[in-house]
Amino acid sequence: MIYELRVYTVNPGKMPAIQARFRDITIGFFEKHGIKSVGYWVNTVGGRSDELVYMLAFDDMAHRERAWNAFQTDPGWHAARAQTEVDGPLVHHVENRLMTPTEFSALR
């Protein structure tokens, strides 16, 4: 199992919109394409208030590549994303990490 940690730095005033997009749209497309959501977070103490952090899980790198390719080429996703950005982009920076759990990790 590999995990993908993604940190979205959200444009000013767009945090409610990005959370709504994930809740109402993105997670459904992730499920459609075999992308497993582990969790979604915002900072309560520490960190920045303009960050949405989330983690995804994949069986292996090949699974990740297939799933992301299917997601990123899905015309329905492109249409839905465009609709959520009619007033401008929601995110201005994305940080991405691929991680493998240690043998003592609860998530393996």
Q: How many structural domains does the chain have? A: 1
**For residue 58, is it within any domain?**
yes
What is the rounded distance in angstroms from the CA atom of residue 59 to the CA atom of residue 17? Answer: 30
Beta bridge pairs of residue 97: 5
**For residue 108, is it within any domain?**
no
**For residue 50, is it within any domain?**
yes
What is the rounded distance in angstroms from the CA atom of residue 43 to the CA atom of residue 58? Answer: 25
Structure pTM?
A: 0.92
- For tokens 């759990």, the residue is 101
Residue 107 pLDDT: 82
Q: pLDDT tens, 22-79?
A: 999 999 999 999 999 999 999 999 888 899 999 999 999 999 999 999 999 999 999 9
What is the rounded distance in angstroms from the CA atom of residue 34 to the CA atom of residue 18? Answer: 21
- For tokens 């609709």, the residue is 83
CATH number at residue 16: 3.30.70.100
